[in-house]
């Protein structure tokens, strides 16, 4: 979808902002460009919509050399989101969102209907926010309007220049989550500029780590964290890259242990015998529909009486089971799993089927979490060996 071929940008004072850059971004891929200030990442992005013209090389959009396209027409085909949003203060939220459709000649009714659809998609009820003005919105709400406006004409490409950098950390995380949800629905080709490696890791399908005008590494987030290509990349991603890697590694069914399972209506004797046979100290408790209810300990099944309740060892598992609050859906990140273990002071968490939020799949223990992290590292090493990604960054190549 986007292809750079030996692109260089030199300014009149001799400064080289981007040096012999070659890479490709696939259709529907979200690539984050990350690096310190002055490294060339924003220059790279602005050359795609010709806000900056390259000194050498060519840039292709869907196979077409953008140098042959009228810049105004080109920009109307590309969504653009910046940090300060750039909303028109004299226009309502609905009219701001409909800006590009209006420029493209859409009828007013159609443009406003599309704007309302996009506002709803980014979590702003058009009946509530449509007639408001930008100064009546919070920073996070204005940023959502900026994203909606960029998507209003359904462009295939979206350029985002540190769009969440001006909001507080709590709002930023919420906006990141909402953008990932939105991207899963619209599947745009996205170049996302950021100086924050954690944001780059969280959002990107692949990350381009910039040095001084060059890409030092262009890989999936887990590979950048697990196998930094250069000392510069290792230093940039930080000494805690192992912890960052938790956020890009998902829980898979193969990562789970299968503990003993009993059911609510099982007799205590039968459940206790099951645990004794497997040498287990606890079991997961399911209901008749195989949905997670909680857990029960061997001591609860075989111990002495409890004041005010049935004697342990008598009745059914239902009498002694405890609800389980420490659980996650399969596909959640290992970072979420680790956080959940700490939050509930739990030695394991239940993992449920994401398609059926109560269907029990297994449990994740700290040992299995570590194995999952090692599995992810090994998989990335194999993938890197099999995948050819052309990234030419050497000035004298």
More confident residue, 288 or 395: 288
pLDDT for 154? 83
Identify whether the C-beta of residue 187 lies closer than 8 Å to the C-beta of residue 179.
Answer: no
Q: Region 192-216: what's the mean pLDDT?
A: 93
Mean pLDDT score across all residues of the chain: 86
The predicted structure's pLDDT at residue 394: 34
List the single range of 81-90, 133-142, 310-319 with lowest mean pLDDT.
310-319
What number is the average pLDDT over the span 202-225?
92
Residues 9-13, mean pLDDT to the nearest whole number: 93
Contact (CB, 8 A) for 319 and 309: yes
Q: Are 357 and 329 in contact (CB under 8 A)?
A: yes
Angle at 333 between CA 164 and CA 367, to 5 degrees: 145
Q: What integer pLDDT is reported at residue 138 of this predicted model?
A: 86
Under 8 Å between Cβ of 95 and 111: no
The DSSP call for residue 255 is G
Give, in order, the Cα–Cα distances in Å from 319 to each of 58, 158, 271, 295, 359.
72, 56, 12, 12, 22
Of 94, 93, 89, residue with least CA distance to 111: 94
pLDDT value of position 314: 63
Tell me the C-alpha to C-alpha distance, in Å, between residue 205 and each of 29, 33, 47, 307, 336: 6, 11, 21, 56, 19
> What average pLDDT does range 87-109 have in this prediction?
90
The pLDDT score that the predictor gives to residue 94 is 94
pTM of the model: 0.74
The predicted-structure confidence for 246-261, as pLDDT tens digits, reads as follows: 888 889 999 999 999 9
Give me Rg for the CA atoms of the chain.
Answer: 26
Burial of 156 (0-12, 13-18, 19+ CB in 10 A): middle
Pairing between β-strand 78-82 and β-strand 157-161 as defined by DSSP bridges: parallel
pLDDT of 63 strictly over 60? yes
Whether residue 279 has pLDDT greater than 80: yes
The predicted model gives 47-63 an average pLDDT of 96
Domains of the chain: 2-247 (3.40.50.300), 253-374 (3.10.580.10)
Angle at 299 between CA 298 and CA 303, to 5 degrees: 130
Rounded Cα distance, 267 and 89, in Å: 68
Query: In this predicted model, which residue has the larger pLDDT, 314 or 67?
Result: 67
Give the tokens for residue 59.
């840039």
- Predicted confidence (pLDDT) per residue in 117-172, tens digit: 889 888 889 999 999 999 998 888 888 888 888 888 888 999 999 888 767 787 77
**Which band of pLDDT confidence, cut at 50, 70 and 90, is reported for residue 383?**
low
Does pLDDT of 45 surpass 70? yes
Q: Is the pLDDT of residue 27 over 90?
A: yes
| N-term to C-term CA, the chain | 25
| β-bridge pairing 2-10 and 16-25 | antiparallel
- What integer is the mean pLDDT of 329-356? 89
Confidence (pLDDT) at 306: 42
Kind of pairing between the strands at 2-10 and 30-34:
unpaired
Ranked by mean pLDDT, the top range of 149-158, 190-199, 302-311, 378-387 is 190-199
Supply the pLDDT for residue 379.
66
Contacts of 63 (CB under 8 A, 6+ apart): none
Look at residue 387 in the predicted model and tell me its pLDDT.
44
Please report, for the chain, how many H helices and E strands are present, in that order.
Answer: 16, 17
């Amino acid at each position: 979808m986007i292809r750079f071929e030996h692109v260089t940008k030199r300014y009149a004072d001799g400064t080289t902002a981007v040096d012999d850059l070659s890479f490709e971004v696939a259709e529907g891929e979200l690539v984050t460009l990350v690096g310190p200030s002055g490294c060339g990442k924003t220059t790279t992005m602005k050359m795609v919509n010709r806000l900056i013209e390259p000194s050498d090389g060519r840039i292709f959009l869907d196979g077409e050399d953008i140098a042959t396209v009228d810049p105004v027409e080109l920009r109307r085909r590309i969504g653009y989101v910046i940090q300060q949003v750039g909303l028109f203060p004299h226009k309502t939220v609905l009219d701001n969102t409909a800006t590009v459709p209006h420029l493209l000649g859409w009828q007013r009714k159609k443009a406003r209907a599309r704007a309302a659809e996009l506002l709803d998609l980014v979590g702003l009820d058009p009946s509530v926010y449509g007639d408001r003005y930008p100064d009546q919105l919070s920073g996070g709400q204005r940023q959502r309007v900026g994203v909606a406006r960029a998507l209003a004409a359904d462009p295939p490409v979206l350029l985002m220049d540190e769009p969440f950098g001006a909001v507080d950390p709590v709002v930023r995380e919420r906006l990141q989550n909402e953008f990932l949800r939105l991207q899963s629905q619209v599947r745009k080709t996205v170049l996302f500029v950021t100086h924050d490696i954690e944001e780059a890791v969280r959002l990107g399908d692949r990350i381009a780590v910039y040095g001084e005008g060059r890409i030092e590494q262009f890989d999936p987030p887990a590979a950048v964290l697990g196998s930094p290509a250069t000392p510069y990349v290792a230093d940039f991603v930080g000494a805690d890259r192992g912890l960052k890697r938790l956020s890009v590694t998902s829980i898979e069914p193969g990562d789970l242990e299968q503990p003993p399972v009993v059911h609510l209506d099982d007799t205590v004797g039968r459940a206790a015998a099951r645990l004794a046979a497997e040498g287990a100290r606890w079991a997961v408790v399911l209901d008749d529909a195989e949905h997670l209810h909680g857990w029960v300990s061997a001591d609860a099944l075989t111990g002495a009486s409890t004041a005010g309740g049935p004697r342990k060892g008598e009745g059914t598992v239902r009498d002694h089971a405890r609800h389980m609050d420490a659980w996650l859906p399969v596909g959640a990140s290992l970072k979420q799993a680790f956080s959940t273990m700490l939050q509930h002071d739990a030695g394991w968490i239940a993992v449920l089927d994401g398609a059926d939020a109560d269907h029990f799949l297994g449990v994740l223990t700290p040992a299995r979490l570590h194995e999952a992290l090692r599995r992810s590292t090994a998989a990335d090493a194999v993938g890197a060996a099999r995948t050819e990604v052309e990234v030419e960054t050497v000035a004298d190549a």
